[in-house]
């Protein structure tokens, strides 16, 4: 077992955990966190793959940076939707 | 390629310009939409006369660059996107009931168009991920325009869309890990049907199916599409779900190893049949008008999925034409249907199907548009839906071992007839008509009619269209 | 493009264009609407007359546009199609006049006449269809155009009837479509030719051929009201009388029957039918439907429903005639297409007149109506006697030929069916005639609308309601009497059959 | 060798424990705090895997900003809605047996798929190494981001913009901050210039070493949020032209570069000979500012103006 | 001579690191076990300040360049500042929103 494989498996495990959370959980903020954990899992797979060559693969690193920005953008939007949605439910009661 | 780039950049610049000037000018968007349409048409002419083109972004060589690929289908989709966007923009600018006029609808819809065009042009697995995210965010933002009641469905849509992207992305990562490339054409030369490839393709397929609301991953769609503002529902159903479908098609028809495609095809086709039946069943049952239209999207995507699955299973490029005819016909018909449904429910002041009693008398044009569009969804001749169904039926009936699939189409047709005429029959009820709250807006009704007429008008150009599609798809 | 290729298109457009224009009219533009209707109907008759002359002189009328690969949209005027087109054109004119009178003052007339014209366009298109794809296309369009007419009244009963009608016809349409695609995948969609095109190209693929035949017959059998696919017809009776007249005499049921004719003679061909032995089950089905329809008619108390079950029975005479696969029987079947149309439309006009003028719907209310409305009752009598098969009304000719045809191919048992059906016809029609002429007139009619002058004679009802009935009754008599002459439907049928059987 | 494994092993154990805890700990607050810890640990792992760019980005974006966003969201979530419906800790975890089995199955399938991957190599890496000289910057990650795959980056800026536009039509997320206390004010005054300095440094460094527009932008955003919360920075309303210019500047400039390169015949987003370096720096500056302002607005959210 | 010095430095560095780690752990235990927010704040800030204060010299002893020393110093100052500010904010917030703990 190499370090690359170790982190590949770890990434996959995180991804599965996140997926499980996304499907099983209901509280919006928790689901958003689940998606983020899923994302971390994929990124870990990608970074581990980048580690295969002697010099780490810059392409994968760049893709992960892009992925991180996408993740924060979506998270910000999702959180705001979740919070505003909850409040509107509260208003109705 | 310049024309295609123009079709890509004009909407993006329009969106930025609108934001910069804090403008919510519908006419400006209509004007730039026209320009986009012109550019897209030009691209279509270019690709028809001088064949497919490709562009390495940044002028970098093969494995490094992101590549734009302008195929005939791409050009057609560019035109189609521009057309629907223009139509909906006119509606949004003009309709009295459209609540999106004074919102960020304008820049958002331009960004949506831009991201779709980026998706059609791209042929890079990771770039598709970014365009999918762009598309998803734009779509959710547009759904949320409808106000607080839409936030719940919008959030669900967003989360599932994000989850789906990450499922897709894991597939991409596995592909990169296995073959070290992201460009789909390069990938096509290398793929083998081993375990990694299989899992990677399945992951990408699942993610895309969720994004395209293909059965059984469609549960988010009806609520999201039904709660969006009318103009947005039309855009979402007609265009957005087609984006992931396009990627799915390119993946399986270009990059996937043949054994894998043959093996996976039946699963997709069965999912398609299930979508037709169960989506149609839900459309038959729902008490809400827009939900009915949204469920019909789920059902109709079943046809496309079926075409794709059988295309993979039988390795029949002829089914490409069926798939894209479905996409075109459904897009036009659905745009018409959502606009008509939105107008009807706004004018009647009720979202229930049962409120449509007597609408053939009070709002004949809108109801007629709904019925005509519905006719194409059922696949009545000589509408575009009929042409697509015919193209799908032909290879099925051609060989006796394919006959069982016909049952799916048969039932699907009957169910779609069921939910379309459920509405239409009610509209003829003169016993107790629901009086409209406002004077009907005839211009908007005719606008809703327009795409429905276009989809029936496809019959006039059917022969060249089919020949072009059959020859055009690689 | 020369005029012979444009003429079929013009025949279709002569009702389509006025129809579309009528949709745009306001409710109160009565004069313009009437003009459009009548001009369209007259122009159509003239064009059809021209085409009749042309076909008799050996001209070929063919219009084609590309549609799908190997399947153009073809409109073609040949002897068989002209028989149906002429019937439609003539009856459209009379029914239009009738409908104008019938709907006077009713709401939503623009919509009604719009769809009415579309319906006729679809029927004519179907009659002129030159290949299976075109036929299926117009077959579906006919469904769409007739649905708004069935639900025109917008009552709960009308809606229910409309839904049932759609369920049957769309289902049938889908089956027919499947059959057409199945054949298309094997040989494309070549033009209909006498003797059928399948045998030459598709030798002996029994499974495919049988399946295609079953699908097509099931599809067209719905509109032809073959048992057990007839359920929509009696419920569709809630529609306004002109619609019933048009649906039951001409457009819908005849479209189905005409489809059967095309499939058996021009797609499969007599030889292939015999070889595959496909006609026998159909023959049994037709025979059963004839008797079944008559028996059911016997037990109806509502006039229109009795007529509807009579239609179920009578249309199957056509099916019977063509399923016998002999030239003489074929002549009987084809000519019955026209004869039954004339007679049944007369009956429905008359039923509509009774309902409109005196609000008579039930059979028991017919007592003595002959004294109040003698002319209408006379027309009704002509139609009813024709249905029973009394000479010299047209119905006799058809039955005569059917009987001869059955003997010719050795299916003697069919004579029993014909005789039984004739007896049943008499049983359910003669009481009506007796009540009408000899029953005691009531002191009060259910509700006298006082149309026309309100006195027996030419003013017994609105003239636009009376004259169409008299005309068609007269025509039914005339084509019976003149059956032996050159321009009679019988002669045309003979001409067609000679080509089909290569005599 | 063994201590390498010890480190990797304990990192893995920690991160897995944290992930499970984040998802299934009963209190939402604890879940969020643990998630921030998760982000920091992830940054550590990126560093361990030789990806310092990512470690920086993760620390700033993943842990810092996401944490702030989550806490802000928590603050606006009524207590009644914080609980996971039908959530009863470990017992529920047991009860969801089928889902767990399914997850394990998925994990097993994925495991089969990743096993052969470490042996493969990538053609893209070799190509990137080959063309690094012509890319205009020495740091390979920056070269990929802003030159080889510039289109991805451009679209990603659009994603950020879109998220901002989407958020703009909803309510502001942070309640009005209470008046800042002197200690916080003083510390912020001290910290802010430092943050700007480090941000600028990261940006400048990006062309040759780990760092770049995103890391710098995220850091600047953190500083701006701090200053904004203590009212040391004026409100950044959308009606200010400079705010709009800064937010849109990144995308707009990038797109314009694309347009002009196409116009000049070099090809879409193909920088002309010798211009690559300066153009990349310019794009990065514009992008950094855009990212910083957009992220700031995403987190604090100024007065809404979309619907009246 | 240098070898001996190296050994002393390494030993010193490691003992400092271990002490630092101990204080961190103690602080964390305090955070988890102490009854109310003030005690917890006390545990965390005190222990962390001390822990970091020991860790950093320990690391500094292993540093090989003045750059590194500068960085460590900066880290120490920043964490001290932030910790103090954060602790003050939390305590004050708690005091303003809750009833005083020692109230009977």
Tell whether omega for the bond before C421 is within 30 degrees of 0, i.e. cis.
Answer: no
* Cβ contacts of D163 on chain B, cutoff 8 Å: 137
pLDDT bin (cut points 50, 70, 90) of residue A3 is confident
What residue of D is the nearest CA neighbor of A79?
Answer: D73
**Measured between CA atoms, how close is D168 to chain E, in angstroms?**
29
What is the pLDDT averaged over residues C470-498? 83
Percent share of chain B, pLDDT over 90: 53
* Mean pLDDT of the region D48-75: 85
Is the pLDDT at C448 greater than 80? The verdict is no
Look at residue B112 in the predicted model and tell me its pLDDT: 94
Q: Taking 70 as the threshold, does the pLDDT of residue A88 lie above it?
A: no
**pLDDT class of B272 with cuts at 50, 70, 90:** very high
Q: In the predicted model, what is the mean pLDDT of residues D255-259? A: 91
**B407 has a chain A CB within 8 A of its CB:** no
Kindly list the residues from chain E whose CB atom is less than 8 angstroms away from the CB atom of residue D191: 78, 81-82
Report residue C461 CA to chain centroid gap: 26
Q: What is the pLDDT of residue A33?
A: 93
| Cβ B183 vs Cβ B128: under 8 Å | no
Burial of B345 from C-beta contacts in 10 A (0-12 / 13-18 / 19+)? buried
Distance CA D35, CA D21 (A): 9
User: Chain D contacts of A74, Cβ < 8 Å?
Assistant: 159, 163
Judge whether B198 lies within some domain: no
38-57 in chain A: CB under 8 A from chain B: 38-39, 41-42, 45-46, 49
Mean pLDDT, to the nearest integer, of B150-163?
A: 90
Check whether domain A3-92 has CATH 1.10.1740.10, yes or no:
no
| D169 neighbourhood in chain B, CB within 8 Å | 103-104, 141, 144-145
Q: Under DSSP, is residue D26 helix (H, G, I), strand (E, B) or coil? A: coil
The pLDDT, as a whole number, for residue A91 is: 52
Q: What is the pLDDT of residue D307?
A: 41
Of the two residues A93 and C84, the one the predictor is more confident about is C84
What is the tens place of the pLDDT at every residue in C110-121?
Answer: 888 888 889 889
Distance separating alpha carbons of residues D305 and D214, to the nearest angstrom? 28
Which candidate from A24, A51, A69 shows the least CB-CB separation from D50?
A51
Residue of C nearest to B397 (CA): C182
Mean pLDDT of chain B: 89
What average pLDDT does this structure show over C29-54? 87
Interface residue D306 vs chain B (CB under 8 A):
yes
The residue ranking higher by pLDDT, D192 or B79, is: B79
- For the stretch D11-41, pLDDT in tens is 999 999 999 988 888 888 888 888 999 999 9
Chains B and C touch (3+ CB pairs under 8 A): yes
**Whether the predicted pLDDT of D158 surpasses 60:** yes
User: Which residues face C76 on adjacent strands?
Assistant: C62
Shortest distance between the Cα of C75 and any Cα of chain B, in A, equals 15
Q: Does B217 touch chain A (CB under 8 A)?
A: no
The pLDDT-based confidence of D95 (bands split at 50, 70, 90) is: low
- pLDDT of residue B443 exceeding 80: yes
Residue A1 has what pLDDT? 67
Evaluate whether D54 touches A47 at the Cβ level (below 8 Å): yes
Report whether pLDDT(D305) > 50: no
Which chain D residue has its CA at the smallest distance from E80's CA? Answer: D187
A46 Cα to chain D: minimum distance (Å): 11
Residue D151: per-residue pLDDT: 92
Residue of chain A nearest D83, judged by CA positions: A27
pLDDT-derived band at B302 (thresholds 50, 70, 90) equals: very high
Classify the C-alpha dihedral C199-C202-C203-C208 as positive or negative.
negative
Q: Which residue has the higher pLDDT, B99 or C160?
A: C160
| Cβ-contact B241, B221 below 8 angstroms | yes
Residue of E nearest to D192 (CA): E78
Q: Can you give the pLDDT at residue D140?
A: 87
Query: What gap in Å lies between CA C315 and CA C11, rounded to an integer?
Result: 26
Cβ contact A72–D114 (<8 Å): no
What average pLDDT does this structure show over B394-411?
A: 86
Is residue B274 a contact partner of residue B124, using CB atoms and an 8 Å limit? no
The candidate with the shortest Cα–Cα distance to D132, out of D114, D122, D144, is: D144
What are the strands, taking DSSP E only, across B57-142? 67-70
Tell me the residue ranges of DSSP E strands in B49-201: 53-56, 67-70
Residue D301 has pLDDT above 80, yes or no: no
Say whether pLDDT at D306 is over 50. Answer: no
**Does an interface of 3+ CB pairs under 8 Å exist between C and A?**
no
Percentage of chain D with pLDDT > 90? 20
For the segment C325-349, the average pLDDT, to the nearest whole number, is 88
- Residue C371 pLDDT: 81
Q: How confident is the model at residue C467 (pLDDT cuts 50, 70, 90)?
A: confident
Contact yes or no, B with D (3+ CB pairs under 8 Å):
yes
The shortest C-alpha distance from B155 to chain A (Å) reads 6
Whether A12 has a pLDDT exceeding 90, the answer reads: yes
Of D84, D100, D144, the CB nearest to A27: D84
Q: E82 and D187: CB-CB below 8 Å?
A: yes
Indicate if the pLDDT at residue D174 is higher than 60.
no
Residue of B nearest to D155 (CA): B130
Contact A16/A28 with Cβ under 8 angstroms?
no
pLDDT of residue B89: 92
What average pLDDT does the structure give for chain C? 85
Out of A15-19, A88-92, B140-144, C101-105, least confident range: A88-92
Phi, psi of C190 (to 5 degrees): -70, 170
Q: Which chains lie within 8 Å of chain A at 3 or more CB pairs, if any?
A: B, D
> What are the residue ranges in chain E where pLDDT is below 50?
101-104
* pLDDT given at position E103: 40
What are the φ and ψ backbone dihedral angles of C74, each rounded to 5 degrees?
-125, 130
Q: What is the per-residue DSSP string for C340-378?
A: HHHHHHHHHHHHHHHHHHH---BGGGGTTHHHHSHHHHH
Mean pLDDT of B136-161: 89
Minimal CA separation from D201 to chain E, in Å: 14
Q: How many degrees, rounded to 5, is the angle at CA D213 between CA D212 and CA D217?
A: 120
At residue D131, the pLDDT reads 85
Here the tokens at position C68 are 């799908």
Q: What is the mean pLDDT of residues C295-323?
A: 88
User: Is the pLDDT score of C446 beyond 50?
Assistant: yes
Q: What is the pLDDT of residues C82-111, one digit of tens each?
A: 888 888 888 888 888 888 888 887 788 888
**pTM recorded for the entire structure:** 0.91
Interface of B with A in 104-133 (CB under 8 A): 126, 129-130, 133
Q: What is the mean pLDDT of residues C329-344?
A: 88
Hunting for tokens 């690969």 — which residue is that? Answer: C69
pLDDT above 90 as % of chain C: 7
> What does the pLDDT read at residue D171?
60
Structure tokens belonging to residue E97: 């929103």
Rounded to 5 degrees, what are φ and ψ at E20?
A: -55, -45
CA of C291 vs chain B CAs: smallest distance (Å): 31
- Domains of chain D and CATH, by start: 1-77+88-110 (1.20.120.1200), 134-308 (no CATH)
**Nearest-by-CA chain B residue for A51:** B177
Say if residues B378 and C142 touch (Cβ distance below 8 Å).
no
B208 band by pLDDT with thresholds 50, 70 and 90: very high
A90: pLDDT confidence band, cut at 50, 70 and 90? low
What integer is the mean pLDDT of B48-52?
A: 88
Q: Is residue B345 part of a domain?
A: yes
Q: Which chains touch C (3 or more CB pairs under 8 A)?
A: B
Q: Which domain holds residue B368?
A: 258-474
* Number of domains composing chain B: 1
Helices (H), chain E: 2-33, 37-62, 66-97
């Amino acid at each position: 077992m190499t370090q690359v494989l170790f982190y590949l498996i770890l990434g996959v495990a995180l991804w599965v955990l996140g997926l499980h959370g996304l499907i099983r959980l209901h509280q919006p903020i928790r689901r958003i966190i689940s998606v983020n954990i899923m994302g971390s899992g994929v990124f870990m797979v990608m970074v581990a793959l980048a580690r295969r060559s002697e010099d780490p693969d810059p392409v994968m690193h760049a893709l992960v940076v892009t992925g991180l920005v996408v993740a924060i953008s979506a998270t910000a939007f999702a959180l705001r939707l979740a919070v505003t949605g909850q409040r509107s439910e509260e208003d109705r009661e | 390629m310049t024309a295609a780039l123009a079709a890509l950049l004009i909407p993006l610049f329009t969106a930025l310009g609108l934001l910069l000037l804090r403008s919510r000018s519908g006419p400006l968007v209509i004007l730039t939409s026209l320009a986009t349409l012109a550019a897209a048409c030009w691209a279509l002419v270019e690709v028809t006369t001088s064949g497919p083109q490709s562009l390495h972004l940044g002028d970098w060589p093969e494995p490094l660059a992101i590549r734009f690929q302008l195929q005939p289908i791409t050009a057609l989709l560019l035109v189609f996107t521009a057309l629907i966007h223009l139509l909906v923009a006119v509606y949004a600018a003009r309709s009295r009931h459209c609540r999106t006029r004074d919102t960020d609808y304008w820049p958002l819809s331009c960004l949506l168009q831009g991201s779709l065009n980026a998706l059609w042009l791209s042929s890079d697995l990771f770039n598709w991920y970014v365009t999918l995210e762009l598309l998803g965010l734009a779509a959710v933002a547009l759904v949320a325009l409808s106000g607080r009641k839409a936030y719940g469905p919008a959030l669900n849509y967003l989360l599932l869309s994000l989850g789906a992207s990450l499922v897709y992305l894991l597939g991409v990562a596995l592909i990169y890990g296995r073959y070290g490339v992201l460009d789909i054409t390069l990938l096509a030369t290398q793929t083998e049907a081993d375990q990694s490839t299989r899992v990677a393709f399945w992951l990408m397929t699942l993610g895309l199916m969720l994004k395209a609301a293909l059965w059984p991953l469609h549960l988010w769609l009806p609520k999201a599409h039904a709660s969006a503002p009318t103009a947005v529902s039309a855009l979402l159903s007609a265009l957005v779900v087609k984006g992931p479908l396009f990627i799915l098609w390119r993946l399986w028809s270009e990059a996937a190893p043949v054994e894998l495609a043959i093996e996976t095809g039946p699963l997709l086709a069965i999912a398609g049949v299930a979508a037709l039946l169960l989506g149609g069943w839900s459309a038959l049952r729902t008490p809400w008008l827009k939900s009915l239209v949204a469920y019909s999207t789920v059902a109709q995507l079943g046809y496309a999925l079926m075409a794709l699955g059988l295309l993979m299973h039988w390795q029949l490029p002829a089914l490409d034409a069926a798939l894209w005819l479905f996409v075109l016909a459904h897009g036009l018909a659905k745009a018409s249907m959502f606009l008509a449904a939105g107008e009807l429910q706004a004018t009647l002041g009720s979202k229930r199907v049962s409120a449509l009693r007597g609408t053939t008398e009070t709002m004949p044009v809108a109801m007629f548009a709904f019925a005509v569009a519905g006719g194409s969804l059922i696949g009545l001749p000589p509408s575009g839906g009929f042409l697509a169904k015919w193209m799908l039926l032909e290879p099925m009936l051609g060989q006796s071992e394919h006959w069982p699939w016909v049952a799916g189409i048969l039932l699907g047709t009957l169910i779609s007839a069921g939910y379309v005429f459920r509405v239409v029959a009610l509209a003829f009820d003169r016993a107790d008509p629901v009086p409209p709250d406002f004077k009907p807006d005839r211009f908007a009704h005719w606008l809703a009619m327009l795409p429905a007429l276009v989809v029936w008008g496809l019959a006039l150009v059917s022969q060249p269209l089919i020949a072009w599609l059959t020859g055009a798809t690689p | 493009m020369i005029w012979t290729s444009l003429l079929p298109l013009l025949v279709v457009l002569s009702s389509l264009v006025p129809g579309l224009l009528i949709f745009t009219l306001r409710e109160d533009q009565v004069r313009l609407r009437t003009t459009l209707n009548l001009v369209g109907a007259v122009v159509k008759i003239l064009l059809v007359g021209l085409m009749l002359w042309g076909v008799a002189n050996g001209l070929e009328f063919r219009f084609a546009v590309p549609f799908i690969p190997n399947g153009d949209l073809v409109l073609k005027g040949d002897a068989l199609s002209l028989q149906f087109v002429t019937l439609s054109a003539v009856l459209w004119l009379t029914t239009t006049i009738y409908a104008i009178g019938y709907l006077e003052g009713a709401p939503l007339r623009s919509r009604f006449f719009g769809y009415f014209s579309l319906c006729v366009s679809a029927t004519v298109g179907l009659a002129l269809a030159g290949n299976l794809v075109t036929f299926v296309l117009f077959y579906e369009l006919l469904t769409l155009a007739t649905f708004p007419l069935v639900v025109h009244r917008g009552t709960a009963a009308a809606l229910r009837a409309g839904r049932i009608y759609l369920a049957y016809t769309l289902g049938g349409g889908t089956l027919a479509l499947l059959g057409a695609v199945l054949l298309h995948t094997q040989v494309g969609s070549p033009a209909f030719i006498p003797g059928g095109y399948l045998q030459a190209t598709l030798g002996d693929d029994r499974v495919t051929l049988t399946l295609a035949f079953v699908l097509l017959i099931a599809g067209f059998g719905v509109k032809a009201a073959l048992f057990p696919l007839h359920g929509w017809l009696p419920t569709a009776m809630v529609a306004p009388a002109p619609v019933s007249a048009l649906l039951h005499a001409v457009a819908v049921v005849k479209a189905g029957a005409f489809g059967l004719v095309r499939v058996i003679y021009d797609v499969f061909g007599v030889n292939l039918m015999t070889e595959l032995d496909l006609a026998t089950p159909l023959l049994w089905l037709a025979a059963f439907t004839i008797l079944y329809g008559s028996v059911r008619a016997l037990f109806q108390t509502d006039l229109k429903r009795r007529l509807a079950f009579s239609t179920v029975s009578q249309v199957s005479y056509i099916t019977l005639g063509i399923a016998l696969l002999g030239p003489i029987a074929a002549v009987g079947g084809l000519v019955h297409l026209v004869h039954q149309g004339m007679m049944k439309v007369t009956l429905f006009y008359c039923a509509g007149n009774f309902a409109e003028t005196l609000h008579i719907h039930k059979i028991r209310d017919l007592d003595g109506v002959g004294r109040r409305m003698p002319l209408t009752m006379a027309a009704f009598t002509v139609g009813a006697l024709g249905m029973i098969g009394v000479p010299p009304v047209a119905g006799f000719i058809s039955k005569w030929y059917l009987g001869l045809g059955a003997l010719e191919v050795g299916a003697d048992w069919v004579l029993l069916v014909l005789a039984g059906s004739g007896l049943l016809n008499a049983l359910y029609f003669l009481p009506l005639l007796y009540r009408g002429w000899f029953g005691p007139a009531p002191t009060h009619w259910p509700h006298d609308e006082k149309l026309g002058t309100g006195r027996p004679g030419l003013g017994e009802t609105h003239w636009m309601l009376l004259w169409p009935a008299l005309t068609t009754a007269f025509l039914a008599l005339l084509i019976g009497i003149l059956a032996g002459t050159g321009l009679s439907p019988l002669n045309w049928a003979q001409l067609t059959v000679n080509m089909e059987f290569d005599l | 060798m063994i201590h390498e494994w010890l480190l990797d092993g304990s990192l893995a154990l920690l991160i897995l424990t944290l992930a499970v805890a984040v998802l299934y700990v009963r209190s939402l607050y604890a879940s969020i705090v643990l998630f921030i810890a998760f982000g920091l640990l992830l940054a550590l792992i990126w560093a361990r895997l030789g990806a310092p760019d990512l470690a920086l980005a993760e620390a700033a974006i993943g842990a810092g900003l996401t944490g702030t966003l989550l806490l802000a969201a928590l603050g606006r979530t009524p207590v009644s809605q914080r609980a996971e419906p039908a959530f009863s800790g470990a017992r529920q975890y047991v009860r969801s047996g089928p889902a767990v089995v399914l997850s394990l199955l998925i994990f097993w399938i994925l495991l089969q798929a990743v096993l052969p991957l470490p042996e493969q190599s990538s053609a893209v890496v070799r190509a990137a190494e080959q063309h690094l000289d012509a890319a205009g910057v020495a740091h390979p990650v920056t070269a990929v981001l802003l030159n080889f795959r510039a289109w991805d980056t451009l679209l990603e800026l659009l994603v950020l913009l879109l998220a901002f536009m989407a958020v703009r039509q909803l309510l502001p997320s942070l309640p009005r901050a209470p008046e800042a206390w002197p200690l916080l004010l003083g510390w912020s005054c001290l910290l802010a210039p430092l943050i700007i300095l480090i941000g600028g440094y990261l940006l400048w460094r990006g062309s040759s070493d780990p760092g770049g527009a995103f890391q710098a932008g995220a850091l600047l955003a953190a500083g701006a949020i701090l200053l904004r919360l203590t009212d040391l920075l004026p409100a950044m309303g959308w009606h200010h032209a400079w705010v709009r210019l800064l937010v849109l500047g990144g995308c707009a400039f990038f797109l314009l570069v694309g347009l002009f390169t196409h116009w000049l015949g070099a090809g879409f987003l193909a920088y002309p000979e010798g211009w690559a370096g300066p153009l990349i720096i310019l794009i990065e500056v514009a992008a950094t500012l855009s990212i910083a302002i957009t992220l700031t607005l995403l987190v604090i959210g100024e007065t809404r103006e979309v619907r009246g | 001579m240098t070898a001996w010095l190296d050994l002393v430095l390494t030993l010193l560095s490691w003992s400092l690191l271990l002490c630092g780690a101990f204080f961190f752990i103690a602080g964390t235990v305090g955070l988890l076990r102490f009854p109310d927010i003030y005690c917890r704040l006390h545990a965390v800030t005190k222990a962390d300040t001390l822990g970091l204060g020991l860790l950093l010299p320990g690391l500094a002893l292993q540093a090989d360049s003045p750059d590194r020393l500068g960085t460590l110093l900066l880290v120490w100052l920043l964490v001290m500042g932030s910790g103090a500010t954060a602790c003050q904010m939390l305590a004050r917030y708690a005091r303003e929103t809750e009833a005083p703990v020692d109230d009977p």
